[in-house]
Structure 1
Amino acid sequence: MKWLILQALLLGFAISTPAFAQGTPTEVVKKAVDEVIRIVSDKELKKPQNEPKRRQGLKKAIGAVFDYGEMAQRSMARHWKERSAPEKKEFTELFETLLENSYAGKIESYNQEKVVYGKEIVEGESAEVRSRIITTKRDEYALDYRLMKKGGKWMVYDVVIEGVSLVANYRTQFNKIITSEGYPALVKKLRAKSEEIKTP
């Protein structure tokens, strides 16, 4: 249940409009979190017949403050420079689909969890927003957002759950597959996973 809650909120903050990428790092995160809570709490959108509409709205908005290109590059680490331009484009698109579809259902499992914002750390063009998730059973979990400034807007490039980096976690998985089976095998697995978890 712990990871279900955390994963639900992991991408939840990114459900926003482009305007949410403006303001201080904490404002960017808070506005987006507030918006996703509004969406998943909407009684009309919760109706079964509105599921496609709700899911499509969530998917369309997810990329507003989520820098998939940066995340994809960091997740590939040293293997990124070995890829051609078309390969980088394809991988980024597959990575984006993986994240969008993986958490679409989990985002909707929101159950009145409380989000408490803590310290904001800004160092030049980089920032970190710390927060805590408090469940209805009074359990608490740390959820921190790492952002970087691009084009005058703060964009999220990593999320750290209880000290575990999302990007670092994917980097370990991707490196293991590429090292043992090759890059084509990774692409094949990502394609298969995208099909497996494709939203309705």
Structure 2
Amino acid sequence: MAEPSGPALQVCRLIIVFLLVCSAHSLRAEITPLDVIRSSNTLVLDIYEASPEITRKVLDDITRVMEKVTDFEEIADRVVQKTCVGGSGDSCEQLKTEFIALLKLNATRKLGRYRADRFDYLGQVVEGRTARVKTIAWFQEDSVELDYILEKKEGRWVIVNYIADGVDTVRNYQSQFSRIISKKSVNFLIGRLEKKNRLYRKERSEIKKQL
């Protein structure tokens, strides 16, 4: 197997540095939610800068960064526990599994197509073990007010929700899921998520490999 070189080597180094910084942060009581958001956003921007185009490797690298700072299971729990009414325990668990997959695929899919090229950091509000980091995400001249909701778990801050231009991600999914389940069924919703996940995986598989 060939050793990574050029942009691929630069991305590998960036990820190693990020993981080391995260490990060091876990030992520092003063690490803040703003630090977590700033460092992860910076790494994502650096990954894009190191690659001239969106490849599968770029998306895989970004997925690893997001998994390090985002509690996808917590996000899914907040939605599924509120909306999975009338379904069996197995069907609710299957809904959660498919939803977690959708969150990860959809997040990198949107980042690949509509990525920000810079961020303004407006500050943070910390209340006990929860926090809100306020930012503005820019792409060229367009901007989105993007707030990150974090919780402190096992000594580190992780993202558990996003609010984009006033739209709460968790509440938005809760509303969508409740509407579909009330009109159809839990199994119908599972089928819809499975279909979307197959489509997004197919899209991702067709993205050019980085040689």
Superimposed CA distance per residue, residues 179-199 of structure 1 (whole angstroms, 9 cap, x where no aligned partner):
111111111111111001112
- Which residue among 13, 25, 28 is the counterpart of 2:36? 28
Q: How many residue pairs align between the two structures?
A: 180
Shift of 1:81: 7.8
Q: Whose Rg is larger?
A: 2
Shift of 1:75: 1.5
> Quick one: which amino acid aligns to residue 154 of structure 1?
W
User: Which amino acid in structure 2 is aligned with residue 164 of structure 1?
Assistant: V
Q: How does 1:42-191 map to 2 (within 5 A)?
A: 42-43=50-51, 46=52, 51-80=55-84, 86-109=90-113, 113-137=117-141, 139-191=142-194
Other structure's SS at 1:34 match: helix
Cα distance between partner residues in 2 of 1:173 and 1:157: 18
CA RMSD for the aligned pairs?
2.6
Kindly provide the amino acid, as one letter, of the partner of residue 173 in structure 2: Y
Summarize deviations over 1:51-90 as a string: whole Å, max 9, x none. 2322222333322111112111211243358666544543
Letter in 1 for 2:123: K
Distance in structure 2 (CA, Å) of the matches to 1:17 and 1:95:
26
Give identity over the alignment, percent: 24
| CA pair 77-142 structure 1, distance change in 2 beyond 3 A | same
Q: What code does the residue aligned with 2:199 have?
A: E
DSSP-derived class of the 2:140 partner: coil
Rounded to whole Å, the distance in 2 between the matches of 1:151 and 1:83 is 32
Q: Which amino acid aligns with 1:95?
A: F
Distance in 1 (alpha carbons) for counterparts of 2:123 and 2:168: 18
**Deviation of 1:100 (Å):** 1.8
Equivalence for 2:13? none
Question: What are structure 2's unaligned runs of at least 5 residues?
Answer: 1-17, 206-211
Q: TM-score, length-normalised on structure 2?
A: 0.74
Displacement of 1:136 in angstroms is 2.4
Normalised to the residue count of structure 1, the TM-score between the two structures is 0.78
Match of 1:39 among 41, 47, 59: 47
Please state how far the C-alpha of 1:106 moved relative to its aligned partner: 2.8
Structure 1, 119-128 or 98-107: larger mean CA deviation:
98-107
Q: Which moved more, 1:117-126 or 1:87-96?
A: 87-96
